[in-house]
Structure 1
Amino acid sequence: MTISRLFIANRGEIAVRIIRAGKAMGIHTIQAYSEGDTEMLAVKLADEAVCVGPAPSRESYLDIKNVVAAAKATNADAVHPGYGFLSESPEFARALEKAGITYVGPSADTIERMGDKVAARQAAEAAGVPVVPGSKGRIATVDQAAKIAGDIGYPVMIKAAAGGGGRGIRIADTEEQLRKLAPQAQAEAEAAFGDGGLYLERSIQAPRHIEVQILGDGTNAIHCYERECSLQRRRQKVWEEAGAVCLDNETREQLCASAVALAKSVNYRGAGTLEYLYDEARNAFYFIEMNTRIQVEHPISEMITGVDLVQEMIRVCDGEPLRLTQADIKPNGHAIEVRINAEDPLMQFLPFPGKVGAMTEPKGEGIRFDHFLYEGYQIPPFYDSLLGKLIAHGTDRADAIAKLRKALNDLRLDGLKTTVPLHKALADDASVQKGAFHTQWLEPWLEAGNLTAATTGGAS
């Protein structure tokens, strides 16, 4: 192995996760941090740490020049970008390549191609992967959008060609709405991503959100089965599962095979995720986008397959061929991950960057808590509210939910308001227990007062 000094260009729980993977491989770890993160757990755990700028992320974690300079100054062989920040920046990957430093991820060309949703859709179609009916490329004018929408049928989803996180998305039920909403979507996309490009897709009503975890070495690729991420609030994932109980085995095999075919067709290197909408009524799945990085929810795929995805992506990006074949990947049981955010779910999810008081981590077989917390740690107000991920792995879905419920009860984070009450209420909900939900299920559930009722013991 040629990577001996690994620079972590991220923060929070994913930085801790990468440090632990690096240490397990005998790699010297170097943690980047901002002036707002001097007391971060990753700084304490890494073999070395270096400041990359002031607290605002645009002046530190998002500053390519600063990050590359810090990696060079610490003689890093490789940089792992984690998720978010620069993890899907082709400019960052190219800057590292120019500096002679290995990027732990796909090539800049692959990031660029698959990060543009229009180009990714075209790549999927070329690989024979089903896509949602929509525009064949970027839309130049509202008149063009109206014509395409008339052809594919309303309702349609107006989407930003670049970026993600639900930004720039509008749904139009009529041509009148389309003509009003398209300029709004364009303006939001331009402001968020510096790219006002749009494309159209038919809006699938009440879909399930299914994604496939893949690993590639630039030539070969395999999958680590699928995850379901349908429980979402404002298009942000809240609760994730591996696998997806709504799929039969034949559909699952077709879905995962399509992901591998697409990964191979773009010479994918590293860990990545292909996201799909699943139309349960039609038993049909459609590719929507690819995330060219490790995902927040990767632990549940690790739990059901026994594969350390972070270690494997370091190996393949170091030039090693895949050590695993598809036959080596055997799914075992069911896993659920819930995101523990520093937010008050009973106060419209108001951010709560407090100080960690007494803390108790849940223990037990099949329980994992990925986080960056310690007693006395002051949560900085500058960044994402994710504190950690609580993962439960059981023999089947009912067992996983039971273990999750116990782990949520055992978790103690004094001094903070967190999303734990939401997850307890979801674990007790009859529809969630039956797996009867979709991407538009959670928000009406919240608006109906179910969380308040579950927390206070009253009727909604």
Structure 2
Amino acid sequence: MFKKILIANRGEIAARVIRSCHSMGIEAVAIYSEADENSRHVRVADNAYLVGGPRVNESYLNVDKIIEIALEANVDAIHPGYGLLSENAGFAKACHNNGIVFIGPTPEVIEKMGSKIEARKAMEAAGVPIVPGDSTPLLNVEEAEIAAKQIGYPIMLKASAGGGGIGMQMVHNQDELKKAFSGNQKRATDFFSNGAMFLEKLVEKPRHIEIQILADNEGNTIFLGERECSIQRRHQKVVEEAPSPFLDEKTRRKMGEDAVQAAKAIGYRNAGTVEFIMDENKNYYFLEMNTRLQVEHPITEEITGVDLVEQQIKIANGNLLTLEQSDIQLNGHAIEVRIYAEDPKTFFPSPGKITKFNILTGENIRHELAIEEGTTVTPFYDPMIGKLIVKGNSRDEAIKNLVNVLEKYEIEGIKSNIPVLLKIVTHPEFKNGNTTTNFIKEYLFQTKV
């Protein structure tokens, strides 16, 4: 087994990966920017190295410097966490080229799944349902107009290399398409250095449901149930739960089998997530594949009892899966909410020093935190400062537990989105399981999302 792993990330996910490393007897090496010198993930690591300035391109995205540190620290492997370099094929290649194991899939698979157009083509070839649309890269609005007429409005305009909702917009007619195309293409070019766009038919009243998979180096592949991630703001997930309140066992099994087929078709290795969009009649279509650990992975861990980071490390070490599909049983219900340092009225980031921080702990309550009392939240990074995960024997029990913990969550010195989270999880439509991706827009902030 690996003796030393570098975590090429920051915040709560770095601390979470470090915890699994320690439980496996593996030394954990952290990296930190000048802004993160006193961060929690630095304190809980065995060793920590300064990687650069406060901005991400100076530090956490500096591939050459991270590799240099990894070699200096004599690590066996690098865990990329999520975000940042986790789906960067060039970074995975750099690890391999320097004799360091990248804890994730191969660079070739990362590259293929990083292009939504190529991913659509691969899934269609594998027999996995895809949203009706046009998989041809569109380089200008004239090409988009021709494709849109063939598909029929309403449609979704998407960036091939997009993520996090960047470069994506709903379009109802030709005028909207003309207005939307250039702006989204520019954002895609700015963020991903790739302005290729494509179109899909709009799925009405959609749910966002994803399947967690694990695959070892011999191709043995299993799925670990699903996560409902439909409550989103500007295509960013806010509340996730497992299992979905909408699925029946037959649909769950079929989606899981399709996710396994998708993974096998591309030679996938390690942990990954196959994301689907589902309509009100339970028709589902491939959306994308995330070739990394998900932010919301803890809710799967809570209902299956499987440590996904531990599994990632074992697979990367060359171990075969000891779990079989029949071993995966879903027990209880888990819900995760993302805690952000942001103004709940304007959704603007709220950096500053945390002067008070008290949270409930106990059975069926799990906190994944980037902060503690005294931490200064800087303006340089994503404002997510933690995640709260609760579990119950039933969905109703999990909701009650969640509300209780949120109501007693004390954080001062910065503003947080906890008031918004409470509005969501106490809303009658949430309690009834009516959680489409339009939830926040329809029921909470019609003019602010």
- Note whether the superposition's TM-score is higher than 0.5: yes
Per the TM alignment, residue 323 of structure 1 is displaced from its structure 2 partner at its CA by: 1.7
Aligned to 2:230: 230
Per the TM alignment, residue 143 of structure 1 is displaced from its structure 2 partner at its CA by: 3.5
Distance 1:134 1:22, change over 3 A: same
Aligned to 2:72: 73
Of residues 339, 354, 357, the one that matches 2:355 is 357
Per the TM alignment, residue 377 of structure 1 is displaced from its structure 2 partner at its CA by: 1.4
Letter of the 1:279 partner, please give it: D
Q: Distance in 2 between matches of 1:364 and 1:59?
A: 39
* 1:194-343 paired onto structure 2 within 5 Å: 194-218=193-217, 219-280=219-280, 282-343=281-342
Aligned to 1:457: none
Q: Distance in 2 between matches of 1:176 and 1:410?
A: 48
Given that 1:220 and 1:267 are in contact with CA atoms closer than 8 Å, whether structure 2 keeps it comes out as no
Q: Distance in 2 between matches of 1:353 and 1:338?
A: 20
Given that 1:93 and 1:108 are in contact with CA atoms closer than 8 Å, whether structure 2 keeps it comes out as yes
Of residues 390, 393, 405, the one that matches 2:391 is 393
Q: Distance in 2 between matches of 1:136 and 1:447?
A: 34
- Once superposed, what is the RMSD of the aligned Cα atoms? 1.6
Structure 2 length-normalised TM: 0.97
Q: Distance in 2 between matches of 1:190 and 1:318?
A: 36
Q: Distance in 2 between matches of 1:44 and 1:178?
A: 49
Q: Distance in 2 between matches of 1:378 and 1:109?
A: 39
Where do 5+ consecutive residues of structure 2 fail to align?
none
Q: Distance in 2 between matches of 1:140 and 1:377?
A: 45
Of residues 368, 371, 374, the one that matches 1:373 is 371
**Ranges of 4+ aligned residues in structure 1 off by more than 4 Å:** none
Q: Distance in 2 between matches of 1:363 and 1:61?
A: 31
Q: Distance in 1 between matches of 2:348 and 2:173?
A: 34
Q: Distance in 1 between matches of 2:349 and 2:65?
A: 29
* 1:125-140 paired onto structure 2 within 5 Å: 125-140=124-139
Secondary structure of residue in 2 paired with 1:365: coil
Per the TM alignment, residue 30 of structure 1 is displaced from its structure 2 partner at its CA by: 0.4
Aligned to 2:178: 179
Letter of the 2:70 partner, please give it: A
Please give the per-residue CA displacement for 1:364-395, whole angstroms capped at 9, x wherever unaligned.
Answer: 22110110222211112211111111011111
Aligned to 2:380: 382
Letter of the 2:118 partner, please give it: A
Distance 1:114 1:449, change over 3 A: closer
How many residue pairs get aligned? The number is 448
Per the TM alignment, residue 436 of structure 1 is displaced from its structure 2 partner at its CA by: 1.4
Percent of pairs identical after alignment? Answer: 45
Per the TM alignment, residue 252 of structure 1 is displaced from its structure 2 partner at its CA by: 1.2
Per the TM alignment, residue 192 of structure 1 is displaced from its structure 2 partner at its CA by: 1.4
Structure 1 length-normalised TM: 0.95
Higher mean alpha-carbon deviation, 37-46 vs 134-143, is at: 134-143
Higher mean alpha-carbon deviation, 413-422 vs 126-135, is at: 413-422
Q: Distance in 2 between matches of 1:449 and 1:251?
A: 35
* 1:162-173 paired onto structure 2 within 5 Å: 162-173=161-172
Secondary structure of residue in 2 paired with 1:351: coil
Distance 1:381 1:177, change over 3 A: closer
Per the TM alignment, residue 75 of structure 1 is displaced from its structure 2 partner at its CA by: 0.5
Letter of the 2:209 partner, please give it: I
Q: Distance in 1 between matches of 2:410 and 2:172?
A: 46
Aligned to 1:192: 191
Distance 1:141 1:379, change over 3 A: closer
Distance 1:361 1:142, change over 3 A: same
Given that 1:341 and 1:386 are in contact with CA atoms closer than 8 Å, whether structure 2 keeps it comes out as yes
Aligned to 1:7: 6
Q: Distance in 2 between matches of 1:142 and 1:373?
A: 45
Per the TM alignment, residue 350 of structure 1 is displaced from its structure 2 partner at its CA by: 2.0
Secondary structure of residue in 2 paired with 1:228: strand
Given that 2:440 and 2:446 are in contact with CA atoms closer than 8 Å, whether structure 1 keeps it comes out as no
Given that 2:341 and 2:414 are in contact with CA atoms closer than 8 Å, whether structure 1 keeps it comes out as yes
Q: Distance in 2 between matches of 1:416 and 1:188?
A: 30
Q: Distance in 1 between matches of 2:253 and 2:152?
A: 30
Distance 1:179 1:344, change over 3 A: closer
Q: Distance in 2 between matches of 1:276 and 1:41?
A: 34
Q: Distance in 1 between matches of 2:356 and 2:348?
A: 22
- The answer on 1:417 being equivalent to 2:408 is no
Where do 5+ consecutive residues of structure 1 fail to align?
451-460
Q: Distance in 1 between matches of 2:360 and 2:376?
A: 21
Letter of the 2:367 partner, please give it: F
Secondary structure of residue in 1 paired with 2:285: strand
Given that 1:78 and 1:101 are in contact with CA atoms closer than 8 Å, whether structure 2 keeps it comes out as yes
Q: Distance in 2 between matches of 1:148 and 1:380?
A: 44
Please give the per-residue CA displacement for 1:111-169, whole angstroms capped at 9, x wherever unaligned.
Answer: 00011101111111111110000113322443432232222221111110003010111
Given that 2:139 and 2:195 are in contact with CA atoms closer than 8 Å, whether structure 1 keeps it comes out as no
Distance 1:173 1:40, change over 3 A: same
